């Protein structure tokens, strides 16, 4: 795939495959296009060249099969952690863990009834990650999932990711620090630095 944003080609020649149970770690310098690649996979951007093939999911489209956890946590600050997860569970379909169980799994059971506005950055991140657990979706797209997490929470996340893979789930994650995932594939995005042709140049 290739991707263009604004007047620039961000990257090109990016190709990979992901099978059930596999993890892909996306690395590269600041601004290289890691988040952009995730946004392409999430269907939020359209590739300038190439395509995404999603096979074996039956009736479900790619967007119905994925969770996307971006830099912004997409939580409603006035609602409690539990209410946010209840909303996500009802909205996303294919319900999995109950909100209380998901919060327990990320070590936040004690904060279930607190408005998200009262939580720290790392706690908010854990609520956002708990959303992965309340609806069954095979592909998890994670943009720097360990940011703001302390060491213990990073290990909890690693275990959740490995458990997802054990049941055939797939993960694509951008990162600047090692995620310590077993046998993960890695793709390094390099900025293409190619200006697009000016109008009239063909
Ligand atoms: N909405 C946008 N419109 C135009 N260009 C954008 C937009 N968002 C990002 N870009 C540009 O796309 C390029 C890649 O950005 P991206 O966020 O994908 O990088 P990244 O590799 O995830 O960086 P970081 O490590 O800093 O998170 C950057 O040059 C950025 O300026």
Q: What tens digit of pLDDT does each residue of 176-189 get?
A: 999 999 999 999 99
Q: Is residue 15 part of a domain?
A: yes
Q: What pLDDT was estimated at residue 198?
A: 63
Q: Is residue 168 part of a domain?
A: yes
Q: Is residue 128 part of a domain?
A: no
pLDDT digits (tens, 9 = 90+) for 71-110: 888 999 999 999 999 999 999 999 999 999 999 999 999 9
Task: Look at the chain and report how many structural domains it folds into.
Answer: 1
Q: Is residue 172 part of a domain?
A: yes
Percent of the chain residues topping a pLDDT of 70:
95
Q: Is residue 40 part of a domain?
A: yes
CA-based nearest residue to 18, from 173, 160, 189, 146: 173
Q: Is residue 121 part of a domain?
A: no
Kindly give the distance from the C-alpha atom of residue 34 to the centroid of ligand 1, in angstroms, as a whole number.
8
Query: Does residue 18 register a pLDDT over 90?
Result: yes
Mean pLDDT of 141-170: 96
pTM: 0.93
Domain hosting 165: range is 3-75+136-195
Q: State which H helix or E strand residue 188 sits in.
A: strand 185-188
The number of beta carbons lying within 10 Å of the beta carbon of residue 105 is 19
Pocket test for ligand 1, best of 3, 6, 38 (most atoms within 8 A of CB): 6
Query: Does residue 138 register a pLDDT over 90?
Result: yes
Pocket test for ligand 1, best of 27, 34, 44, 68 (most atoms within 8 A of CB): 34
Percent of the chain residues topping a pLDDT of 90:
86
Mean pLDDT of 111-130: 96
Query: Does residue 5 register a pLDDT over 70?
Result: yes
Non-local (6+) Cβ contacts of 82 within 8 A are 99, 100, 103, 112, 113
Q: What does pLDDT average to over the chain?
A: 93
Q: Is residue 35 part of a domain?
A: yes
Q: Is residue 94 part of a domain?
A: no
Query: How does residue 202 score in pLDDT terms, banded at 50, 70 and 90?
Result: very low
d(CA 126, CA 109): 11
Q: What is the CATH number of the domain that holds 164?
A: 3.40.50.300
Query: Does residue 191 register a pLDDT over 80?
Result: no
Q: What pLDDT was estimated at residue 94?
A: 94
Query: Does residue 195 register a pLDDT over 80?
Result: no
């Amino acid at each position: 795939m290739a991707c263009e944003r604004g007047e620039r080609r961000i990257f090109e020649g990016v190709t990979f495959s992901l099978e059930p149970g596999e993890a892909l770690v996306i690395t590269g310098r600041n601004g290289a296009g890691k988040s952009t690649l995730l946004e392409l996979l999430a269907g939020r951007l359209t590739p300038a060249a190439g395509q995404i093939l999603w096979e074996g999911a039956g009736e479900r489209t790619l967007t119905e099969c994925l969770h996307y956890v971006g830099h912004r946590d997409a939580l409603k600050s006035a609602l409690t952690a539990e209410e946010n997860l209840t909303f996500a569970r009802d909205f996303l379909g294919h319900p999995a863990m109950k909100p209380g169980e998901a919060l327990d799994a990320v070590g936040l059971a004690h904060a279930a009834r607190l408005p998200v506005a009262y939580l720290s950055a790392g706690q908010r991140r854990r609520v956002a990650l708990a959303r992965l657990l309340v609806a069954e979706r095979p592909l998890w797209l994670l943009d720097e999932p360990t940011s703001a997490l302390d060491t213990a929470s990073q290990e909890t996340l690693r275990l959740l990711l490995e458990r997802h893979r054990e049941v055939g789930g797939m993960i694509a994650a951008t990162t600047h620090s090692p995620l310590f995932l077993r046998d993960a594939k890695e793709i390094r995005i390099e900025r293409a630095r190619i200006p697009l042709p000016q109008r009239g140049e063909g």
